[in-house]
């Protein structure tokens, strides 16, 4: 073999060996190492600890959707989340908030039902300890103003305006007139949460309707089925009532039960309320429930978790997001039925 051929062969072998050693070694370049590090990170906001209030009891048609939104955010983003179920009881929410502060998490996502007088000193305490606080479902405007730079935001509907809108839409939808009787079953006793009930009442009274009001008791607030004798008794005493507004997601989802117990056929009395759920979809399809305003509670779970993560990691200020989406009735409920069954809408 000539020296030229031997040199050529040896050169090719050397190049092959170099490629086998060096090319795989490209994986150890700084860029590749960084890519591997990114792949090893489980979630973007892993390690952040949050206490979260879904609001009601476990299994509540509304609170369960809030919970599913929060759980989705937890799974997507990676924080550690502890859930506190409060039975829609303001006193219990305050007690649980104190427990959450004592646990010293990075953030707490509260339901604003107890109101600003009850929450203000406790939010002050939490903020003094470096805990991020934000609110969902029921806003706390003065607390939000004070701590918005620290990440105190709001994910929920405009309470008064939502009540007003549902009342006015009900009047238009069913051609109600001055002098017609309506009833609002709500939560006026709760400082901030009651604004939605007030919006319903004001909207009806502005149109000249005669408005009766019933307060939702703590027991019915926790278990909507306990309201059946209350509503059947009211209807028996006021048989000329034309519209009943239930200012509560659980009660709205139960109106078919109430109506059947009162021996009503679909449409005998118009029912309107709040919050889309699988049960309220069934009530609409049955004809007993005519109209709801959907505040998209899934977002009220997802967005507060995201808020705490963004503030903790990047010092973002509080985001105020109106989750109210509009009205649902027999004309558009089928488009949302599948999502409601999944607990997303």
Q: What DSSP letter does each residue of 22-38 carry, written as one string?
A: HTGGGGGSHHHHHHHHH
pLDDT tens-digit profile of 231-261? 999 999 999 999 999 999 999 999 999 999 9
φ/ψ of residue 271, rounded to 5: -115, 135
Query: Given a cut of 80, is residue 121 above it in pLDDT?
Result: yes
Residue 186's pLDDT is what?
A: 98
pLDDT tens-digit profile of 13-65? 444 333 433 334 434 444 444 444 444 457 899 999 999 999 999 999 899 99
What whole-number distance in Å separates Cα of residue 86 and Cα of residue 67?
12
DSSP string covering 206-250: HTT-EEEEEEPPHHHHH-GGGGHHHHHHHHHH-TTEEEEEE-SHH
Q: In the 8-state DSSP scheme, what is residue 137? A: S
| Percent of the chain residues topping a pLDDT of 70 | 88
pLDDT tens-digit profile of 214-229? 999 999 999 999 999 9
What whole-number distance in Å separates Cα of residue 154 and Cα of residue 134?
6
Q: Are 199 and 205 a contacting pair, CB within 8 Å?
A: no
Mean pLDDT of 172-194: 97
Instruction: Read off the pLDDT band of 119 (50, 70, 90).
Output: very high
Query: Given a cut of 70, is residue 269 above it in pLDDT?
Result: yes
pTM of the model: 0.83
Instruction: Read off the pLDDT band of 325 (50, 70, 90).
Output: confident
Query: Given a cut of 90, is residue 281 above it in pLDDT?
Result: yes
Average pLDDT value for the chain = 90
Query: Given a cut of 50, is residue 108 above it in pLDDT?
Result: yes
Residue (of 56, 138, 72, 55) closest to 339 by Cα position: 72
pLDDT tens-digit profile of 54-103? 999 999 989 999 999 999 999 999 999 999 999 999 999 999 999 999 99
What whole-number distance in Å separates Cα of residue 330 and Cα of residue 290?
7
Residue 2's pLDDT is what?
A: 46
Query: Given a cut of 50, is residue 170 above it in pLDDT?
Result: yes
Beta strand 80-83 with 107-111 is unpaired
Task: For the sheet with 270-274, list strands across it.
Answer: 210-215, 181-186, 241-246, 270-274, 291-294, 326-328
φ/ψ of residue 13, rounded to 5: -60, -45
pLDDT tens-digit profile of 133-166? 999 999 999 999 999 999 999 999 999 999 999 9
Residue 310's pLDDT is what?
A: 98
């Amino acid at each position: 073999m000539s020296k030229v051929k031997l040199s050529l062969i040896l050169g090719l072998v050397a190049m092959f060996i170099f490629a086998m050693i060096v090319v795989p070694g490209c994986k150890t370049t700084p860029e590749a190492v960084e890519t591997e590090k990114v792949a090893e990170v489980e979630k973007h906001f892993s390690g952040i600890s949050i206490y979260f209030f879904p609001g009601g009891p476990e299994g509540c048609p509304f609170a369960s959707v809030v919970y599913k939104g929060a759980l989705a955010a937890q799974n997507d983003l990676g924080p550690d989340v502890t859930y506190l179920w409060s039975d829609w009881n303001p006193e219990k929410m305050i007690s649980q908030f104190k427990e959450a502060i004592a646990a010293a998490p990075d953030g707490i996502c509260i339901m604003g039902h107890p109101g600003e007088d009850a929450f203000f000193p406790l939010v002050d305490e939490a903020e003094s300890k470096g805990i991020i606080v934000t609110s969902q479902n029921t806003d706390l405007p003065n607390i939000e103003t004070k701590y918005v730079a620290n990440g105190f935001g709001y994910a929920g509907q405009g309470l008064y305006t939502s009540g007003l809108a549902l009342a006015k839409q009900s009047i238009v939808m069913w051609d109600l007139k001055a002098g017609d009787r309506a009833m609002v079953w709500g939560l006026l006793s709760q400082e901030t949460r009651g604004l939605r009930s007030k919006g319903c009442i004001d909207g009806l009274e502005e149109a000249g309707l005669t408005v009766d009001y019933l307060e939702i008791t703590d027991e019915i607030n926790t278990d909507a089925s306990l309201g059946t004798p209350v509503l059947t008794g009211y209807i028996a005493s006021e048989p000329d009532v034309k519209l009943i507004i239930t200012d509560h997601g659980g009660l709205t989802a139960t109106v078919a039960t109430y109506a059947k117990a009162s021996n009503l056929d679909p449409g005998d009395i118009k029912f309107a309320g709040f919050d889309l759920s699988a049960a309220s979809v069934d009530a609409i399809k049955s004809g007993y429930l005519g109209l709801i305003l959907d505040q998209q509670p899934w977002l009220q779970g997802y967005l507060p978790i995201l808020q705490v993560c963004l503030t903790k990691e990047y010092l973002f200020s509080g985001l105020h997001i109106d989750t109210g989406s509009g009205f649902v009735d027999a004309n558009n409920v089928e488009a949302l039925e599948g999502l409601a069954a999944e607990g997303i809408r």
